[in-house]
Amino acid sequence: MNRAHSGLLILALLIPFASLTAASATLAPAASTEQLAARARPSLAIITNHGRNGAGQGIGTGFVISADGLIATSLHVVGEARPVGVRLADGRTVEVTTIHAFDRHADLAILRVDATNLTALPLGDSDPLANGADVIALGNPLGLENSIVAGVLSGRRTLDGIEMLQIAVPIEPGNSGGPLLDRDGRVIGIVNAKSLLTRNLGFATSVNLLKILVEKPNPVPMATWVRAGALDPAEWEPHLGALWREKPGRLLVDGVGSGFGGRAFLLRTTPALVPPFELTVTVRLDDESGAAGLVFLGDDGDRHYGFYPTGGQLRLTAFEGPDVFSWRILGTVPSPHYRRGDWNKLEVRVETNGFKCLVNGQAVFTSTDAALRGSRVGIAKFRETSAQFRAFAAGRGLPTPPELPPGLVMALGGRDVPEARLSEADLGTLRTNLTAARGFIADRARRLEQEAVRLREVGARLHREAVGLELAAELSRPEAETDLARAALLVARHDQPDLDPQPYLRQLDALARDVRGRSAADAPPAARLDTLRNFLFAESGFHGSRHDYYNRANSRLNEVLDDREGLPITLAVLFMEVARRSGLADVHGLSLPGHFLVKHAPSGAQERLVDVFNGGRLLTHSEADELGSEYAGVPVRSEFLPPATKREIIVRMLTNLRAFAERDEGAAASLHYSDLLVTVAGDPRAEAGQRIDRARLRVRCGDPAGARADLRWVLDAAPPGVDLERLAEMVRRLSEE
């Protein structure tokens, strides 16, 4: 789980569900633990996911929530881009036809299976449940079927923005996804995780979050689910298991490989590489006790060299067989150039008589070992670490990053800060006055840390300013030439310096190719619009963020593409850009107060409005008017609203981000978005409005001088529609204060 939650929509959506009424009406009086278990067992299911080689990868629990084939569980039990198996309580193995609904942040999933007349468990309400209330957890711990344990609700904890039920119940692998029942046999939670502190403590996701998914599903056919994030077999060949996934510009790996030491690796399927050649990748480990990096000079099996970080150091190994007895560690060394917990660039330069290994441009190993001379290259991981890889490249003459001119390097103080080296005599002197020595060292460390913070702030400011200028240049193009998708990705890059827009632009192209392949060349525009709606929302699972609405990830197009979840405006950008790339013209944004729609207005045909936040449903203008009027408090006539310009769309996205940042973290966190809004305003009147708003934030952040500068700019520009006398009075008061 990786996002913060808003409870506003949750409260609005906690309503009775018609599909569950019948189950709820048949509730029996409070019963013993044994009786409740007997009633619930027919509703339990064993869920397995599988590796790409078909071997079992994991096991968990699910439970029936609808007689027509809906089974609830945890998303991590299902896994991503994996085949899923379901075995019902009566022993039948049934096919999963659709991921009916899923929520990554809440770690929930609902599967639709090819079965009917199932026994559903009734869903309760976890909100009124008091601490100390009796609860019962059912599941398949460690693969043992139909286990039941009783305990109590011991508290509620907010974990990563989600309120979780803390339960005093022993939780083991295999319990995940199982139902947590109250004493009336109602589901009040979905078992999610066990505590790392004690075996008799676990956590469950509230059933009320599951109800939201029941009410508004985001179905994805199983065939599409398995393909999503799957490796391209034309590029990668997996070996020894683990969970490898591909997102635009990145390769991700989780799980433990089946090789010795949890080893797993990918080999690139490109043509054989003959020395000399270069190999590079940038990698980040979530756990430095693990290992992940490059493999090279390999055969078609498991023989190759490996260069990778492990335990915060760099290691070079010759893997000459399947286990440790056939491995030769050629070296393990620390490097001051390796950045623990951060992205690190690994590089191997292979020559005819040896090879050199580098980290972040600095040499670590030089070897003439000649035991392995295969032509395969790739990446590997070890143990339980999760890792991300990006910018993998192999070949001759790979581009090198630009370097600062030597004169500028010296002006900045040199490339390397000399390390103070203390002799034994110096250390002996310090030992005679440890109090003073500790104070001196602590003060020196504090000043270095402050300098590091300052430099990071300077780097972040330079990045944000560069993105702002790039975004302003994109929006300054004529409307027809402005690349809306690229502009939206630059908005995301403002927050994420490592983001490369190009892989996501290619993903939009790929989505458009899929849409074109589903429509005849001579299909009318209305039919092509319906094809696009069905593809994005029914087949691919893109959906509005219902109970995570205010999370800034929903405003970043790259994360919307990754998670298939977003705000109305980012989903509209996705819809419009896939439409444009697929050849569907006359698709525009329609900006309503509090909502954003897409309008398809082909010449000579009836306009159609698409509510991208709610599954791509079609709206009439009357329905759109009702939506906008309810939010604005005044009548809105959508048919007279002009299409939103690309600049207006980007400004609205940034305004959302600023509001969400201020709401979650305060004025200081939102100032960066105000800076960007000023940069991309486009005309003096719009810039004046952004500067006035930035002045407000600057005052709240204790920067009256910055606020005065903004307001004086507005006074000098004197755009129409601004009360200059009132503004001058505000400047006078700020000067007095």
Residue 487 resides in a domain: yes
Residue 3 resides in a domain: no
Residue 407 resides in a domain: no
Last residue of a domain, one of 464, 495, 520: 464
Catalytic residue, chosen from 5, 43, 66, 76, is 76
Q: Is residue 434 predicted with pLDDT exceeding 70?
A: yes
Domain count, the chain: 5
How confident is residue 316, by pLDDT bands cut at 50, 70 and 90? very high
Q: Is 107 a catalytic residue?
A: yes
Last residue of a domain, one of 223, 245, 277: 223
The pLDDT tens digits of the residues spanning 420-432 come to: 556 677 777 777 7
Percent of the chain with pLDDT over 70: 88
Last residue of a domain, one of 617, 644, 671: 644
How confident is residue 413, by pLDDT bands cut at 50, 70 and 90? low
- What domain range is 672 assigned to? 650-736
Residues 22-32, mean pLDDT to the nearest whole number: 49
Number of residues assigned to the chain: 737
Residues 348 and 281 in one domain: yes
Q: How far apart are CA 549 and CA 119, in angstroms?
A: 34
Residues 433 and 558 in one domain: no
Residues 566 and 682 in one domain: no
How confident is residue 278, by pLDDT bands cut at 50, 70 and 90? very high
The pLDDT score that the predictor gives to residue 112 is 95
Strands (E) in 276-407, as ranges, are: 277-285, 291-298, 304-310, 313-319, 327-333, 344-351, 354-359, 362-367, 376-382, 387-395
Residues 626 and 691 in one domain: no
Q: What is the CATH number of the domain that holds 364?
A: 2.60.120.560
Percent of the chain with pLDDT over 90: 57
Residues 6+ apart with CB under 8 A from 301: 239
The pLDDT tens digits of the residues spanning 614-630 come to: 999 999 999 999 999 98
Residue 229 resides in a domain: no
Q: Is residue 228 predicted with pLDDT exceeding 50?
A: yes
Q: Is residue 23 predicted with pLDDT exceeding 70?
A: no
Catalytic residue, chosen from 5, 6, 74, 107, is 107
Q: Is residue 232 predicted with pLDDT exceeding 60?
A: yes
Residues 251 and 351 in one domain: yes
The pLDDT tens digits of the residues spanning 256-271 come to: 888 999 999 999 998 7
Residues 639 and 513 in one domain: yes
Residues 522 and 455 in one domain: no
The pLDDT score that the predictor gives to residue 639 is 92
Q: Work out whether strand 543-544 and strand 565-566 pair parallel, antiparallel, or are unpaired.
A: parallel
Residues 626 and 680 in one domain: no
Per-position b or e across 74-108, b if 16+ CB within 10 A of its CB: bbbbbbbbbbbbbbbbeeeebebbbbbbbbbbbbb
Residue 472 resides in a domain: no
Phi, psi of 93 (to 5 degrees): -100, 125
The pLDDT score that the predictor gives to residue 683 is 92
Q: Is residue 165 predicted with pLDDT exceeding 50?
A: yes
The pLDDT score that the predictor gives to residue 13 is 26
Residues 299 and 202 in one domain: no
Residue 2 resides in a domain: no
Closest among 387, 133, 354 to 285, alpha carbons compared: 387
Between 430 and 307, name the one with better pLDDT: 307
Q: Is 638 a catalytic residue?
A: no
Q: Is 76 a catalytic residue?
A: yes
Residues 379-397, mean pLDDT to the nearest whole number: 93
Residues 475-504, mean pLDDT to the nearest whole number: 96
Residues 620 and 557 in one domain: yes
The pLDDT tens digits of the residues spanning 692-726 come to: 999 999 999 989 999 999 999 999 998 888 888 88
The whole-chain average pLDDT of the chain stands at 86
Residues 182 and 95 in one domain: yes
Q: Is residue 93 predicted with pLDDT exceeding 80?
A: yes
The pLDDT score that the predictor gives to residue 31 is 74
Residue 403 resides in a domain: no
The pLDDT score that the predictor gives to residue 403 is 66
Residue 471 resides in a domain: no
Residues 41 and 113 in one domain: yes
Q: What is the CATH number of the domain that holds 660?
A: 1.25.40
Q: Is residue 89 predicted with pLDDT exceeding 80?
A: yes
